[in-house]
Amino acid sequence: MTERMTPGKALAAVKDSNDGLYGVLLEHGSLELGYYKPLEHDDQEPHEQDEIYVVHTGEGEFLLGEERIAFAPGDALFVPAGVEHRFVDFTEDFGAWVIFYGPEGGEAAE
């Protein structure tokens, strides 16, 4: 079965989530598709899987380890498992699709 994931469904998943910040839309094997919409600040901790953020709305900066990266709608940001990261100085309308995948500890680089 194929289901279309829309921004409306994503925002509804966030609203219905326990924390009101991250909603899960799809889980399949090691893959998880979610939507992240932090309010004012981002307090997330490193994750056990590799992940990709695809910025949907808003602008700001992304801290990846010691690196600071400007982002805007349409940008994709890769985060290896276990690496400190967070969104900072982001606009009120910021929201991003989140894709977690692979084994705990991340995939081995070739």
* pLDDT, tens digit, 9 for 90 and up, residues 61-98: 999 999 999 999 999 999 999 999 999 999 999 999 99
* pLDDT, tens digit, 9 for 90 and up, residues 1-26: 468 889 999 999 999 999 999 999 99
How far CA 90 is from CA of 1, 4, 40, in Å, comes to 36, 27, 8
What's residue 1's pLDDT? 47
Handedness of CA 17, 57, 59, 84 (dihedral sign): positive
